[in-house]
Amino acid sequence: MATIKPFKAVRPTRDKVALVSSKSYETYPEDELNSKLAYNPFTFLHVVNPGYKYHKQDITGEQRFKLVHNRYLEFKEDQIFTQEEKPALYVYQKITPTHSFSGIITATSTQDYHDNTIKIHERTLKKRELLFENYLKNTGFNAEPVLLTYPDDTTVNKIIQKYQQKRAEYEFTSTDKNVHLLWIVEDSEDIQVLVSAFEKISTLYIADGHHRTTSSCLLAKNLADENPNHTGKEDYNFFMSYLLSESQLSIYEFNRFIKDLNGLTPDEFLIELDTYFRIEKRGQELYKPKEKHHFSMYLKGEFYALYLRKSAYEFSDELSELDAEILYRTVLKPILGIEDIRNDSKIIYSQDKSDGLELKTKVDSGDFKVSFGMMPTTIDEIKTIVDKGLVMPPKTTYIEPKLRSALTIYEFL
């Protein structure tokens, strides 16, 4: 049973929302980030980059987190942000040049995470968990929702469609040519319909935001331990999320780029690959896999198609059938000597939403010796692995939509 809760969002005024909301600040190239900070006094990037005000970009740790809180208070004092008078849910739609996503922004329960109602598909780093937990404790708000997905539900769809027939509270186009619309669900009957609908949903899956989720849950546990009057209903027991049905997710693959061949020549490397793969040289012909267990490779100026020899590989569980895991078990670890695929500096990852030419251009630049591409993972594969209690390798999925910061803000302290 999934628990959702309406909340009194802090959000930009209608006239400033296009100027305030932003992508995650980590996604901006330095020159673009500096330009937005210099010419847009309303961007939320000023809140999360508080040192800009003092011409100091090297402020880190708890000092930075406290300044983030101060900048946030200034935005509220200047009435850039306002807060709802009563709790609400929010229908949010993002329209890109190729897709449309419609879901519900809500507060979700940290207890659901501990009870395994909210499930993960990748491991988190303890260091990042603790860092972000400290950030949350000092700032006291969520500005970017975690992306959670659930099985398509007719009742939820009807409520979403009902509000999309009305005038949106927000409707604007961002500079990346995406359209954003937000509707406020404050009718008590509609809220109860949605709450009841999610109570019938047994599992929510984290699509994007594992560290934000685990950090919120860690903070909730610590605050509960410090609070002798803890009831479980306090705002810190919830975190902001965007609930999107499974059919709407867009899932892309990550390409793998390797800096060296672990002492092998290209010909020796191909001989090693022959143990597990039938290899076809494609020359300059771009090859992108069309089936599971097929891989593309670019090596020494030429494309190759790799087809797994199933007689030479053991499918022992659901994880072993995942293409990213197959590549690790047959190539990255035994041949290229990459044990820790999360932290080894010899490998980098890049999401593939293009025509696949990145496999060629990064290797031709001389920075890498070989690159690999594969089919995207499906939502059914993700759910199967998660439901078996298994964890996917890092950088297996690149999932959209990517969400903006500060459209709605959830205060929990």
- pLDDT of 276-334, one tens digit each? 999 999 999 999 999 999 999 999 999 999 999 999 999 999 999 999 999 999 999 99
Phi then psi for 314, rounded to 5 degrees? -95, 120
- Element counts in the chain: helices (H) and strands (E): 13, 20
Phi then psi for 172, rounded to 5 degrees? -155, 160
Check residue 268 and give its pLDDT: 98
Of 69-83, 87-101, 223-237, 341-355, minimum mean pLDDT range: 341-355
Q: What is the pLDDT of residues 13-48, one digit of tens each?
A: 999 999 999 999 888 998 999 999 999 999 999 999
Check residue 26 and give its pLDDT: 86
Residue 61: pLDDT over 90: no
Give the strand pairing for 89-95 and 100-109. antiparallel
Q: What is the pLDDT of residues 145-156, one digit of tens each?
A: 999 999 999 999
Handedness of CA 253, 152, 244, 212 (dihedral sign): negative
Check residue 185 and give its pLDDT: 98
Q: How far apart are CA 98 and CA 178, in angstroms?
A: 10
Average pLDDT, the chain: 95
Residues with Cβ within 8 Å of residue 278, at least 6 apart in sequence: 306, 307, 309
**Vertex 200, ends 195 and 206: CA angle to 5°?**
80
DSSP class of 64: H
Check residue 226 and give its pLDDT: 96
Give strand pairing partners of 34.
none
Residue 354: pLDDT over 70: no
Q: Which fold has domain 251-376?
A: 3.30.1760
Check residue 384 and give its pLDDT: 95
For the chain, domain boundaries: 4-248+400-411, 251-376
Q: How confident is the model at residue 187 (pLDDT cuts 50, 70, 90)?
A: very high
Check residue 280 and give its pLDDT: 97
Residue whose token pair is 């590549």: 327
Give strand pairing partners of 244.
149
Cβ–Cβ under 8 Å, residues 86 and 114: no
Take residue 325 and report the two structure tokens written for it. Answer: 């895991």
Cβ–Cβ under 8 Å, residues 177 and 99: no
**Vertex 22, ends 21 and 24: CA angle to 5°?**
135
Check residue 25 and give its pLDDT: 84
**Vertex 181, ends 74 and 79: CA angle to 5°?**
20
Take residue 396 and report the two structure tokens written for it. Answer: 């297996």
Phi then psi for 75, rounded to 5 degrees? -60, -35
Q: How far apart are CA 303 and CA 384, in angstroms?
A: 32
Check residue 368 and give its pLDDT: 97
pLDDT top residue among 341 and 198: 198
Q: How confident is the model at residue 394 (pLDDT cuts 50, 70, 90)?
A: confident
Q: How far apart are CA 226 and CA 214, in angstroms?
A: 19
Cβ–Cβ under 8 Å, residues 254 and 271: no
E strand or H helix that includes residue 221: helix 210-226
Percentages helix, strand, coil for the chain, rounded to the nearest 5? 35, 25, 40
Cβ–Cβ under 8 Å, residues 362 and 257: yes
Give strand pairing partners of 22.
405
What's the Rg (C-alpha) of the chain? 23
Q: How far apart are CA 297 and CA 360, in angstroms?
A: 9
Q: How confident is the model at residue 123 (pLDDT cuts 50, 70, 90)?
A: confident
Cβ–Cβ under 8 Å, residues 20 and 80: yes
Check residue 72 and give its pLDDT: 97
Q: How far apart are CA 254 and CA 353, in angstroms?
A: 9
